[in-house]
Amino acid sequence: MLALLALVAYWPSPVDAPVQGDLSGFLKFLHGRGIPGWFNYQFVEASANVMLFIPLGAVASLAYDGKRWWQIGAFGLIVSGVMELGQLLFLHNRFASALDLVTNTGGAVIGALLVAAALKRLQARRWSAAGL
């Protein structure tokens, strides 16, 4: 999991560079058909960051049983901070961003909360099946 994140974070150029023109054109097409202006490139990029960290939060929640959602969020913040610091110090074609810290951490928290909800639901089913 961390190796995949490192690959994305430390790719020498922005990972969306090959599709940036196509994505901008597609967004322009959508805007011409009534999709609101706030659904723009920045929104897509931020959403992608959230989605990238949801699995990290989910896996960390399962791996570190008993940790609370905010502890998994702190772990996501640390991982994201290391990634952003590496980009700032070593990759002149990449851009460290405070917004990335927020969206990445949010993704980790969402992953942790999804696992917590799924485990509670599973536990309730087991209790119901056992007649408790």
The answer to whether residue 36 is domain-embedded is: no
The answer to whether residue 105 is domain-embedded is: yes
Q: What is the DSSP string of 50-63?
A: HHHHHHHHHHHHHH
Domain span at residue 87 reads 41-132
pTM for the predicted model, two decimal places: 0.86
Q: What is the pLDDT of residue 132?
A: 65
The answer to whether residue 13 is domain-embedded is: no
The answer to whether residue 100 is domain-embedded is: yes
Q: What is the pLDDT of residue 15?
A: 80
pLDDT digits (tens, 9 = 90+) for 15-41: 888 888 899 999 999 999 999 999 999
Q: What is the pLDDT of residue 109?
A: 99
As a whole number of angstroms, the distance between CA 102 and CA 84 comes to: 11
CA angle in degrees (0–180, nearest 5) for 109-113-116: 140
Per-residue pLDDT band at 8 (split at 50, 70, 90): confident
As a whole number, mean pLDDT of residues 97-118 equals: 98
pLDDT digits (tens, 9 = 90+) for 38-89: 999 999 999 999 999 999 999 999 999 899 999 999 999 999 999 999 999 9
The answer to whether residue 21 is domain-embedded is: no
